[in-house]
Amino acid sequence: IKISKSYKLASRDFHPDDTVIEIKGVKIGGDELVVMGGPCAVESPEQIDEIARLVKAAGGQILRGGAFKPRTGPYSFQGIGVEGLIMMAEAGRKHGLLTITEVMTPEYVDICAEYADILQVGTRNMQNFDLLRKLGTIKTPVLLKRGFSATYDEFLNAAEYILAGGNPNVILCERGIRTFEPYTRNTLDLAAIPSLKTLSHLPIISDPSHGTGRRELVEPMAKASVAAGADGLIIEMHTDPDNSMTGDGVQSLFPDQFAALLKDLEKLAPIV
């Protein structure tokens, strides 16, 4: 089937070679597998410091953690804000990890970019065009999550907004889509990985945590993602998932599970 494409800069037709984004020596989109690990939300300096230590010890390269959380309900915990950015930057620096955090509004882009190495656009904001346009004006790498009801074409057009603004550093992320199946929180679309690799030159990361919503499914879907060609993974891990401040404890790995998964993944692809 011939799909007419409205995006250009994101297309492989335009840019045949794989894009490799290098951040302080860590390459995303090359031959090595990149692992981003950490809690759903930054909760305290002690929490993020301990999790950073465990991510590093397991061989991960990037610390994830939300300071601004896009919650479905307005009464749910919304994240600790700028203080969380500061705590995560400190933990990343201390343990030698890059950091990634979600930014939800154009006004917060500059401050998030000051503290984090990669900015995450969440699934609910994939078509927040003002946010995408603002992210196009900086050079900080952006991990763009696929909207949970977005087609590949809509996803790549969202990437195009950032690229067209002048920021070439876009990383795609498949994080699961909404289907009729309630057993899993989302349905991780594994075919998106090789499909997007065909359509686009941009690196692609898989999120088996939000993609399944169930801890026991993270390991098999992480491995399947790597087998399908993912350049890396973003995985929730928590030292005390049952008491985490967002509902995402149920999908968060325990530290020993995270470490065991990275050990296994090394057999599939080098984690450098």
Q: Does the footprint of ligand PEP cover residue 40 (CB under 6 A)? A: yes
Q: Does the footprint of Mn ion cover residue 253 (CB under 5 A)? A: no
Q: Does the footprint of ligand PEP cover residue 145 (CB under 6 A)? A: yes
* Of positions 28, 35, 40, 218, contacts Mn ion by CB under 5 A: 40
Amino acid at 6: S
Q: Which is nearer to ligand PEP, 9 or 188 (CB)?
A: 188
8 Å CB contact between 102 and 68: yes
The Cα 207–Cα 65 span in angstroms is: 14
Tokens 């550093």, located at residue: 169
Q: Does the footprint of ligand PEP cover residue 56 (CB under 6 A)? A: no
Residue nearest to Mn ion (CB): 40
Q: Which residues of 101-113 are buried (b: 16+ CB within 10 A; e: fewer)?
A: bbbbebebbeebb
Q: Which is nearer to Mn ion, 203 or 211 (CB)?
A: 211
Q: Which residues contact 130 (CB under 8 A, 6 or more apart)?
A: 106
Tokens 């690799």, located at residue: 197
* C-alpha dihedral sign at 136, 88, 126, 193: positive
Q: Does the footprint of ligand PEP cover residue 238 (CB under 6 A)? A: no
The Cα 189–Cα 268 span in angstroms is: 20
* Contact characters 94-133, ligand PEP, x per CB under 6 A: ----------------------------xxx---------
To the nearest whole angstrom, how small is the minimum distance from the Cβ of residue 147 to ligand PEP? 9
To the nearest whole angstrom, how small is the minimum distance from the Cβ of residue 6 to Mn ion? 31
Residue nearest to ligand PEP (CB): 122
The Cα 134–Cα 165 span in angstroms is: 8
Q: How far is CA 174 from CA 76, 94, 191, 206, in A?
A: 25, 30, 10, 5
Q: Does the footprint of ligand PEP cover residue 210 (CB under 6 A)? A: yes
Q: Does the footprint of ligand PEP cover residue 70 (CB under 6 A)? A: yes
- Interacting residues toward ligand PEP by CB under 6 A: 40, 66, 70, 122-124, 145, 175, 207, 210
- Interacting residues toward Mn ion by CB under 5 A: 40, 248
